[in-house]
Amino acid sequence: MNNGRACLRHHALFTAVAVVALAQSAFADEDFLGRPTRAVEAVLTPTFEAAEVSADTPLPARLDIDESDLREAHGIKLDFLPAPQGRMSSKPPFIDFSKWELGGFAGAVMYSSDFEAGLNYILGVTSRVPVTGLGQLGIYAEAFISYVDRDLPFYYNHRAGSWYGLGLGLDYTLWKGTLGYIRPQIGVLYAYWNKVNSLDNGLGITIGVQVGLFWVRNNDKTSITFMPQFQMQSSDYMVFLPIGFSVDF
């Protein structure tokens, strides 16, 4: 009997020790697991609080956001964003009167042998407008006054006098650079001989070229021009050798 009671006491003591050990282990696990849980709560709590504050903050009436401010605040690039666009570019006009040119010239005119006249002067004005709808083509016009003095027999009473001309045609900008341009020309000329003996008023063909040198380099608003032209009227012809200027308005 005494041995049985001693055995029971040993078993009870062992059981009590085991219960205490398990309880301590449970508290230790709770502390171990509680630390990361509390760390996560410490990190997330301010975030939730900030979110609540942001949700309560009223939205701005306008979104005036500057790209530079976003770059500085967030350190990001916004190069993928399209640049702000102004008005949509309209199609250029077929004839661009915004680049209308006016000019003047003075020079000499040489007559063919059939005129029986020597070298004389020529003075005139020119105008040009580009036809942007046809690329490098342009429309030119000119008006001038000249003089002819024919070597005719004495019985011709109107051997000399002033005469007038009007020209109209097309030119092509073959080359244009920082110094100037080259424009071949083709057109028609109407000559009014002002009753000079044995000369008939009428139309002729014009073939020429205009060479322009910019007054200021890289500025095509003003240019000095040299515009030789070959004028053909019936079997007679004339050569114009004028020097002038042109201004882009």
Q: Does one domain contain both 37 and 153?
A: no
Instruction: Find the CATH number of the domain harbouring 104.
Output: 2.40.160.20
C-beta of residue 198 within 8 angstroms of C-beta of residue 175: no
Q: How many CB atoms lie within 10 A of CB 117?
A: 22
User: For residue 127, what are the domain limits?
Assistant: 97-248
Q: How many CB atoms lie within 10 A of CB 224?
A: 15
Query: Does 169 fall in a domain?
Result: yes
Q: Does one domain contain both 128 and 217?
A: yes
Q: Does one domain contain both 227 and 135?
A: yes
C-beta of residue 136 within 8 angstroms of C-beta of residue 173: yes
Query: Does 205 fall in a domain?
Result: yes
Q: Does one domain contain both 68 and 102?
A: no
Q: Which residue bears the tokens 């059981």?
A: 15
Cα 173 to chain centroid distance, Å, stands at 19
Q: Does one domain contain both 70 and 169?
A: no
CA torsion angle for 215, 220, 222, 227 (degrees, to 10)? 90
pLDDT by residue for the chain (249 residues), tens digit each?
A: 445 555 545 555 555 555 555 545 544 444 444 554 554 455 445 544 544 544 455 555 555 555 555 555 555 555 555 555 555 557 889 999 999 999 999 999 999 999 999 999 999 999 999 999 999 999 999 999 999 999 999 999 999 999 999 999 999 999 999 999 999 999 999 999 999 999 999 999 999 999 999 999 888 999 999 999 999 988 899 999 999 999 998
Q: Does one domain contain both 115 and 157?
A: yes
Query: Does 128 fall in a domain?
Result: yes
Token representation of residue 127 = 């105008």
Q: Does one domain contain both 108 and 142?
A: yes
Q: What is the total count of domains within the chain?
A: 2
Q: Does the reported pTM lie above 0.75?
A: no
Q: Does one domain contain both 48 and 133?
A: no
Query: Does 89 fall in a domain?
Result: no
Query: Does 149 fall in a domain?
Result: yes
